[in-house]
Structure 1
Amino acid sequence: MKFWMSACLYCFFSQMAFAEHTLDLTKLEYLTESYPPYNYIEEGKFKGIAIDLLNAALQQASHKPQELNIRLFPWPRAYKMMLKGSNRVLFSTTRTQEREPLFQWAGPITSTKVVLLALTEEHINIQSIEQLAQYSIGTIKDDIGEQLLLSSGFPFSQIRQAHSAESLVRMLSKGRIQLWAYEENVARWYIANSSLPNNRFTSVFTLKESELFYAFSKDTDPKLVASLQDAIDKLKRPPAEGNQSRYDKILSQYQ
């Protein structure tokens, strides 16, 4: 009798562990934008720090490669879909106090800095947020740069929205806006790929230093979020003293 009960308990807990171990993260819909070097498409394939970390974390969680349903949209559309949808993941998403209650979170993917860029030749010098009132600033709708400006009290009437970072590079280079609010590494990537010298543009003010995360719909099973978080944490641990973690190896590919 004792043997039978022990065997049953063993099977029960083994099944529980197996169920936890095989949480299916592939049933979620993953939304992203073109935001290099974090997430973008090159030669028809998704690439970037966030993409590589996500794939590695899912393999870590399940011990096998998983096919993901990743869809790329302009940020305003992806953000709107995220707010209205269910079982979705949006990345790379800057985690802020305003966004905190809207989603569940896993990460961080990496650190991030949202800045204001200006033409170097204009010699713009900004020391405080209050000085921004005299400038027109280019943004993308619902992007973190725009949200930070509006939360600081910057008037919407002085914001010039564009549909893409490429458009904002052109607007700033031609003097149609005086400042551009965007993530610094991503902005520099787009400047370089617009065949413009990066030294023509200067970061004149930092709006926020934060971290990028995977944002999950509020209705997502918390066990799925915890599963991805645990896998990310494991990837960040070096396998042995003095060796690079898998996470550090991913970052090094994009430096």
Structure 2
Amino acid sequence: MILGWILSFICLSAVPLPLTIKLLKKLLRPLVVFTILPASTAIYAASKVTLIGAEVPPFSWQQENEVVGINMDVAAQAAQTMGYQVDRKILPLKRALSTLSHQPNTLMAGLARTPEREHLYTWIGPVVSIKVGLLSWQEHIKASQGKQLMAGSAIALDDAGSIASEAPHYRAKLCVHYDTPMEAWLKNHGETDYIAVTSEHACLSLLAEKLVKHWFTEFHLARYLTSKSSYPVENLVEHEVLIEPELYLAGGLNMSSTDIEEWRMALEQMAEAGDIDKIIKRYVADY
């Protein structure tokens, strides 16, 4: 076919033959190079995978020059058993989701599955379940008084007057990280009195400075961030767990069914061997 095209080109062209041959060599040179390279470059590309995650310790975060966390370690171990070279990155949530959609050979280690995200990504399999609920900041009242207030019980008049005089002026009832299962839960339950921020650190600051009444987040994450901050962790009060979503290993929509099945099998084998539980205990002893 190509030979016929070349002969037709020579016969029909008004360009002198030597010049025609020179032009054809120039046109065909990239084609020759292309036929030599793809096999090796394709193998190289397939042997690497990039694992991305948001800054949500103890599940994934940047610790000095290393990316660590429960989800990152689980996904990395699964990748290594499959023969992949692993690159880990922490990105802001919005950029991480965009990268997951558009960058090949990329997986997100620990993405919550929501109705809004269901059709946007490939849900390979769950890595870990999390506990999400309301947290408050206890500073000027005793623990027993705080429990009574949350339960709506009556307390002594002297105590009530003291608490009322120190009552903060909240900007909102709740603080939540935007575009998360927590914000989706609030919307689904008709809650509008909340502030959505771009980081969990911001919610911690708003709660500790008494600008919001509750922080709606994952309990392990809240304890870890508070312990690493200048705020006393003993002031953080956990209330009932409201939701227990699972964090998934997720990929883009262009993943092949073969790749999806291989990743699922790797995660299932790790779970059966107890490897995932071991990784969790490295970060949280009493998970």
Shorter chain as normaliser: what TM range? Answer: 0.7 to 0.9
Q: Flag the structure with larger Rg.
A: 2
Equivalence for 1:109: 127
Structure 2 SS opposite 1:218 = coil
CA distance in 1, matches of 2:46, 2:204: 36
| Coordinate RMSD, CA, aligned | 2.7
CA distance in 1, matches of 2:131, 2:116: 17
Structure 2 SS opposite 1:236 = helix
CA distance in 2, matches of 1:211, 1:237: 18
Structure 2 SS opposite 1:68 = strand
Q: TM-score, normalised by structure 1?
A: 0.74
Report if the CA contact (8 A) 1:126-1:204 is conserved: no
For the structure 1 residues 126 and 24, does the alpha-carbon distance in structure 2 shift closer, same or farther, using more than 3 Å as the test? farther
User: Is 1:247 aligned to residue 276 of structure 2?
Assistant: yes
User: Is 1:85 aligned to residue 106 of structure 2?
Assistant: no
Structure 1 SS opposite 2:85 = coil
User: Is 1:30 aligned to residue 63 of structure 2?
Assistant: no
Q: Which amino acid aligns with 1:59?
A: Q
Report if the CA contact (8 A) 2:80-2:86 is conserved: no
CA distance in 1, matches of 2:88, 2:188: 30
Shift of 1:175: 0.8
Equivalence for 1:15: none
CA distance in 1, matches of 2:194, 2:47: 38
Within a 5 Å distance, the mapping from 1:55-204 to structure 2 comes to: 55-62=76-83, 66-82=84-100, 84-87=101-104, 88-121=106-139, 123=146, 125=150, 136-155=173-192, 158-204=193-239
The Cα offsets for residues 35-87 of structure 1, whole Å up to 9 and x where unpaired, read as 1111111121111111111111012222xxx33343322223323444x5253
The Cα offsets for residues 170-189 of structure 1, whole Å up to 9 and x where unpaired, read as 11001111111111111111
For the structure 1 residues 89 and 199, does the alpha-carbon distance in structure 2 shift closer, same or farther, using more than 3 Å as the test? same
Q: Which amino acid aligns with 2:114?
A: T
Equivalent residue for 1:207, pick from 233, 242, 253? 242
CA distance in 1, matches of 2:45, 2:270: 19
Structure 2 SS opposite 1:91 = strand
CA distance in 2, matches of 1:39, 1:116: 22
Structure 2 SS opposite 1:146 = helix
Report if the CA contact (8 A) 2:126-2:248 is conserved: yes
Report if the CA contact (8 A) 1:24-1:224 is conserved: no
User: Is 1:220 aligned to residue 249 of structure 2?
Assistant: no
Structure 1 SS opposite 2:272 = coil
Q: Where does structure 1 lack aligned partners over 5 or more consecutive residues?
A: 1-21, 128-133, 239-244
Give the percent of matched residue pairs that are identical in Structure 1 and Structure 2.
23
Structure 2 SS opposite 1:253 = helix
For the structure 1 residues 25 and 94, does the alpha-carbon distance in structure 2 shift closer, same or farther, using more than 3 Å as the test? farther
Structure 2 SS opposite 1:153 = coil
